[in-house]
Amino acid sequence: MVEIKKVGVIGAGQMGSGIAHVCALGGFDVLINDVSMDRVQSGLASINGNMTRQVGSGKISDEVRQAALERIGPAEHLDALGDVDLIIESATENEQIKRKIFSQVCPLLKPEAMLATNTSSISITRLAASTDRPERFIGVHFMNPVPVMELVELVRGIATEDETFEAAKRFVAKLGKTAAVAEDFPAFMVNRILLPMINEAIYTLYEGVGSVEAIDTAMRLGANHPMGPLQLADFIGLDTCLSIMQVLYEGLADSKYRPCPLLVKYVEAGWLGRKAGRGFYDYRGDKPVPTR
């Protein structure tokens, strides 16, 4: 049986750093790689800051934080990941970028190493086919923010072996997360349900049914959602929302998944949400202000 002790995370952004964070707290040694050391260092700083907040809220002790940070290190180049037991790819939601990463890292890994992708929508079977070990490939879709959210979607490709699946389940359990098993269909379960709702909220804005503030207030107070769908879209990233809707629209060939033109326009304008300072809300002032 596969025993995972050392994990390599490719991608040091919000999701990648969050995955490295929970892996280190789960007792795994972790190496983080990205396209530049500046990004890696930024990811490491985010992990330190988020763990410090966990200490402040009493969720972990400072001793646990320090021990976890000692288990995380930078990997400036992919060849530094040669001895890991599991690679978790957490790059941008673009199939070609992900396939390129796997084609580059596979020759550097030991034969028994497992591969996983944190994709939120792309076919696991297709990504696995771009590797030299599709039987040792699986989808592990963490939710954002990773240290807070309890769920991980596990998605098998057509070639994923039982041993890989069982090892992934044990890995997720050791992180203190709950696994939900999804079939390899576009966007899996959570985003298959969530993103069309967000897209419909954008259509509601586009058609003038309600303002940004009215739509978010209606869903917070009328459906008891913790945040409104447009606020949530900004949090996820409008480019990610659009990518997932495009995967659904193209993969399922159903017009109900057509991305709202207003979502497309915002992405074309570079208004990608919180990370860009502006989306359905403008975050550049003291408090967020609706942009429509």
3-state secondary structure 280-291: CEECCCCCCEEC
Active-site annotation holds for 120 = yes
Q: One of 89, 90, 121, 153 is an active-site residue; which one?
A: 153
Q: Which stretches in the chain have pLDDT values below 70? A: 1
- Give residue 2's pLDDT: 73
Q: One of 17, 118, 123, 191 is an active-site residue; which one?
A: 191
Active-site annotation holds for 42 = no
Q: One of 17, 46, 123, 141 is an active-site residue; which one?
A: 141
Active-site annotation holds for 77 = no
Rounded Cα distance, 238 and 270, in Å: 9
> Contact 147/267 with Cβ under 8 angstroms?
no
209 φ, ψ (degrees, to nearest 5): -70, -35
Number of neighbours of residue 207 by Cβ within 10 angstroms: 10
Distances from the Cα of 159 to the Cα of 133, 154, 182, angstroms: 9, 14, 15
pTM: 0.91
Residue 273 DSSP label: B
Model confidence pLDDT, tens digit, residues 86-117: 999 999 999 999 999 999 999 999 999 999 99
Q: What share of the chain is helix, strand, coil (3-state, %, to 5)?
A: 50, 15, 35
32 φ, ψ (degrees, to nearest 5): -115, 135
DSSP letters for 191-252: HHHHHHHHHHHHHHHHTTSS-HHHHHHHHHHHS--SS-HHHHHHHH-HHHHHHHHHHHHHHH
> Contact 222/250 with Cβ under 8 angstroms?
no
Both tokens of 73, joined, read 């290190």
Q: One of 120, 121, 123, 199 is an active-site residue; which one?
A: 120
In the chain, the largest separation of any two C-alpha atoms, in whole Å, equals: 56
